[in-house]
Amino acid sequence: MLSRQQLRIAAFSTAVIAFAATSGSVLAQKKYDTGATDTEIKIGNIMPYSGPASAYGVIGKTEEAYFKKINAEGGINGRKINFISYDDGYSPPKAVEQARKLVESDEVLLVFNPLGTPSNSAIQKYMNAKKVPQLFVATGATKWNDPKDFPWTMGWQPSYQSEARIYAKYLLKEKPDGKIAVMYQNDDFGKDYLKGLKDGLGAKASMVVAEESYETTEPTIDNHIVKLKATGADVFLNITTPKFAAQAIKKIAEIEWKPLHIVSNVSASVGSVIKPAGFENAQGILSAAYAKDGADSQWDNDPGMKKFYAFLEKYYPEANKLDGSVVYGYGVAQTMVKVLEMCGDNLTRENVMKQAASLKDFVPDTMLPGVKINTSATDFAPIEQLQMMRFKGEKWDLFGDIISGELSN
């Protein structure tokens, strides 16, 4: 047994050692890259505020409002966020110009949530060459999860292919001899989905009896629906953006076709798609989700959504909370703030990527219960889980388990 004297010495020594060890990090140097200082963190962003995809511009506005809220509450580790967002009109050359402006002229620390696969494809090489984080890109294309070749680029939402695979799994189980008709938008979004579906069906890819593509310049896709009904298919996969999804739902009801109707998550918003298309036309439609729907009254008392609604009321009152894009903007902005918090005083670009790749079971306020964000040095896909849901009455009924759409690369 140690004597009292020896105990005291031991305790004292331990304390000194402990102090010495921790003071090392307390007195650690603050590390900054361009765009971060003691008082400010500059975040760049590129959104289509004009042009064909201007409906998504509201995501940028939501993020701006969110960062305003964070600043009003003291900022991140005492630093205010300076959010600089530019319009690229959904044009890749313009996106390149804006990215260069942000990095070289505005000298931001990172570019956050740039939107659109073409725009992100255009700037990916540049961002990686300049070693500036291209973080939480606003597109579900599968190619953003590639830390080996593009260590500075990371996605956020579940990839289109993984969502399609989830539907494929479901169909193989519930309707193994179904005949699938697919209508898809003729761009990266539609084609990525289609690939995921076919890969997911694997040997049974022959279940797909018809594929119809459409262009966003078409005023209405009604005639495609007519054509697909004529193929005799009994499963319909609706890979469209909101306007066309609503048109499809309405037309299918009008021509009295009753397939098993699956709509992509992109167009599952009650407020922006289902309500205009008509609740009575949407009964029984399936989809999958990773976030809560602002128009769905089942979340009215959910603590996370309550925070979201309070935020909207105070900082962005004119927002249309029925718009899925607003919920999206909030969730991804919250993730960004978490990553910056985790960086502490080490605000180098390298550390930002490191922290972004170290998210463990992070749950933004707007995620469905059970969906968690996880990343690692080899896993640059933050959200990979979805839950399937069926439309009943005036809302989506979630069913089944949270499924992981992980792609085994």
Partner 1 sequence: MELFTNQILAGIATGAIYACMALAVVMIYQAIDHLNFAQGEMAMFSTFISWQLMQWGIPYWGAFVLTLALSFAGGIAIERLLFKPLAKAPILTNVAGFIALFAIINSVAGLIWDFTIKQYPTPFGSHPFLGSQLISTHQAGMIGVTVVLLILLYFFFQFTRMGLAMRAAASLPESARLVGINTSWMIALGWGMAAAIGSIAGMMIAPVVFLEPNMMGGVLIYGFAAAVLGGLTSPLGAVIGGFLVGIFENLAGTYIPGAGNELKLPIALALIIVVLVVKPAGLFGRPIVKRV
Partner 2 sequence: MSAIQESVTEAPVVEAVPKKAMTLGYGTSLVMLALLIAVPLFVKNFIIFQLTMLLIYAIAVLALNILTGGSGQFSLGQSAFYAVGAYTSAILMEHGGINYALTLPVAGIVCFGFGFLFGQPALRLSGVYLALATFALATAMPQLLKLGAFEYWTGGVQGLVVTKPDAPFGLPMGQDMWLYYFTLAISIAIYIFSVNLLKSRSGRAFMAIRDNEIAASAMGIDVALYKTLAFGVSAGITGVAGGLGAIAVQFVAPDSYTITLAISLFLGMVVGGVGWLPGSIVGSAFIIFVPNIAEGISKGLSGAVFGVLLFLVIFLVPHGARQGAIVAQHLIGKLRKN
Q: Which residues bind partner 2 (CB under 8 A)?
A: 49-51, 85-87, 89-93, 96-97, 100-101, 103-105, 117-118, 121-122, 124-126, 186-188, 191, 215, 217
Q: Name the helix (H) or strand (E) containing 74.
A: none
- Integer distance in angstroms from the first to the last C-alpha of the chain? 59
- Percent helix, strand, coil in the chain (nearest 5)? 45, 20, 35
Question: Of 29 and 105, which CB lies nearer to partner 2 in the complex structure?
Answer: 105
114 binds, among partner 2, partner 1, none (CB under 5 to 8 A by kind): none
How many Å apart are CA 280 and CA 344, to the nearest integer? 51
How many Å apart are CA 157 and CA 386, to the nearest integer? 10
Instruction: Give the total residue count for the chain.
Output: 409
210 binds, among partner 1, partner 2, none (CB under 5 to 8 A by kind): none
How many Å apart are CA 407 and CA 200, to the nearest integer? 10
How many Å apart are CA 384 and CA 328, to the nearest integer? 15
Residue pair 330/68 in contact by the 8 Å Cβ criterion: no
Question: Of 75 and 89, which CB lies nearer to partner 2 in the complex structure?
Answer: 89
296 backbone dihedrals φ, ψ, rounded to 5°: -90, 115
256: contact with partner 1 by CB under 8 A: yes
Q: Name the minimum Å distance from CB 159 to partner 1.
A: 24
Question: Of 92 and 278, which CB lies nearer to partner 2 in the complex structure?
Answer: 92
Q: Name the minimum Å distance from CB 36 to partner 1.
A: 34
The residue type found at 368 is L
Taking CA atoms, 355 is separated from 142, 344, 352, in Å, by 21, 10, 5
Question: Of 259 and 329, which CB lies nearer to partner 2 in the complex structure?
Answer: 329
User: Which residues share a beta bridge with 42?
Assistant: 82
Residue pair 179/235 in contact by the 8 Å Cβ criterion: yes
Counting residues that bind partner 1 (by CB under 8 A) gives 38
Taking CA atoms, 176 is separated from 172, 200, 324, 362, 363, in Å, by 5, 13, 32, 36, 35
Stretch that binds partner 1, among 6-14, 267-275, 335-343, 386-394 (CB under 8 A): 267-275
Which residues between 154 and 193 bind partner 1 (CB under 8 A)?
186
218 binds, among partner 1, partner 2, none (CB under 5 to 8 A by kind): partner 1
Question: Of 283 and 320, which CB lies nearer to partner 1 in the complex structure?
Answer: 320
Q: Name the minimum Å distance from CB 223 to partner 1.
A: 4
91 binds, among partner 2, partner 1, none (CB under 5 to 8 A by kind): partner 2
104 binds, among partner 1, partner 2, none (CB under 5 to 8 A by kind): partner 2
Residue pair 332/113 in contact by the 8 Å Cβ criterion: yes
Q: Name the minimum Å distance from CB 272 to partner 1.
A: 5
3-state class of 264 per DSSP? coil
DSSP one-letter code for 190: H
Which residues between 187 and 246 bind partner 1 (CB under 8 A)?
212-213, 215-220, 222-223, 226-227, 230, 242-243, 246
302 binds, among partner 2, partner 1, none (CB under 5 to 8 A by kind): none
Q: Which of 45, 30, 113 is nearest to 77 (CA)?
A: 30
Alpha-helical segments (H) within 139-255? 160-174, 188-201, 222-229, 242-254
Interface residue with partner 1 among 92, 118, 151, 278 (CB under 8 A) is: 278
Interface residue with partner 1 among 34, 50, 71, 283 (CB under 8 A) is: 50
283: contact with partner 1 by CB under 8 A: no
Chain residues in the site for partner 1 (CB under 8 A): 50, 52, 54-55, 57-58, 186, 212-213, 215-220, 222-223, 226-227, 230, 242-243, 246-247, 250, 254-256, 271-273, 275-278, 320, 322-323
